[in-house]
Amino acid sequence: MNLRHGYFRIMCLALFSIVLSTQAGYSQEATGRELLTQSKRVMFLGDSITAAGQYIGMFDAWLVSELRDKAPKLINCGLPSETVSGLSEDGHAGGSFPRPDLAERLDRVLKAVKPDLVIACYGINCGIYLPFDEGRFAKYQAGMKSLKAAVEKAGAKFVVMTPPFYDDMRSPRKFSYNEVLDRYSDWLIGQRNEGWNVIDLHHPMTKSIQEQRTTDPKFTMQPDGVHPNDAGHWFVAQTVIRWAGDAKSASAANPKEMLAGRQVPESLLPLVQQRDAILRDAYVTAAGHLRPGVAKGLPIDEAEAKATELTVKIHAILNGIPK
């Protein structure tokens, strides 16, 4: 009888510890690497920064060099100008079209891609470049919550990345828009206490640029204030690589140095980037959207065939390198 009571007491204490850990904000979620290795298809969602594809290609080059033939397929479904807030400023794009709202296409893109994991980065457009406003902020919060719910309803895991730095020096306003994004980012980070898997890009990027400007006051990663240059895209890729558990590769100065450190020829990167672009255009087109001026992709079957050809070339490079 005492043994049974002792066992019961131990089990109760263990359960109580789990509850305390959850309430204290300790995540029981899988690590970034675990999420990647458990997935076959990973979809990226975002605005023009994601749609451009550079940071995804850099990350994908690391991923295939790390996991080889076990690497999941990355599908970039970013769309320029898009928001999760559903807002658009007056006269956007010269008044030719409003900003697209992710909600308009989300169900279709989830059905087209059938991802196991979704990594999303929104926010820089969602405050529509105006001073902080509680109403706009509430729209962003609601949009993010709806996105997470839709992804999970579709059977996929959800990871969100805080928005990038906004360069107030390169695109000055009467207020600091980067400080608006500070608040958006702080809210996302706070959702970790609700079990969200959050990658913080915004604060490390802000800190890095501020540090660089102590010796080079004109330093920037975003010449127009918004869109990253190569160094900016590498910073985003570094952040995702670090989340995936490889701090050593993430410390490289650029993708070329990262691949060299892994003894991988730099010829891998353009092949991966080409594959990513073909799949991006195909799936974004197949899902449909309301954003004018986006290149039309191949039918999915044709795009997948071309991607497979490129995958063979990618693996040929990797197979020549000792694991």
Which DSSP string do the residues of 21-89 spell out, in sequence order?
A: HHHTT---SPPHHHHHHT-SEEEEEESHHHHH-HHHHHHHHHHHHHHGGGPPEEEE---TT-BSS----
* Predicted pLDDT at 320: 82
Beta strands in 206-269 (DSSP E): none
Distance, in Å, from the CA atom of 85 to the CA atom of 126, rounded to the nearest integer, reads: 5
Tell me the Cα Rg of the chain: 21
The predicted model gives 55-73 an average pLDDT of: 97
The answer on pLDDT for 1 being more than 60 is no
Domains in the chain, CATH or no CATH each: 32-319 (3.40.50.1110)
Contact yes or no for 206/165 (Cβ under 8 A): yes
Whether residue 4 is predicted with pLDDT greater than 60 in this model: the reply is no
Mean pLDDT value across residues 3-24: 42
Rounded CA-CA distance 27/93 in Å is: 41
Averaged pLDDT for residues 96-120: 98
Task: Please tell me the least confidently modeled range out of 22-26, 86-90, 195-199, 229-233.
Answer: 22-26
* Cα distances (angstroms) measured from residue 274 to each of 82, 231, 281, 312: 23, 20, 11, 13
Task: Catalogue the E-assigned strands of the chain.
Answer: 41-46, 73-76, 117-121, 157-161, 197-199
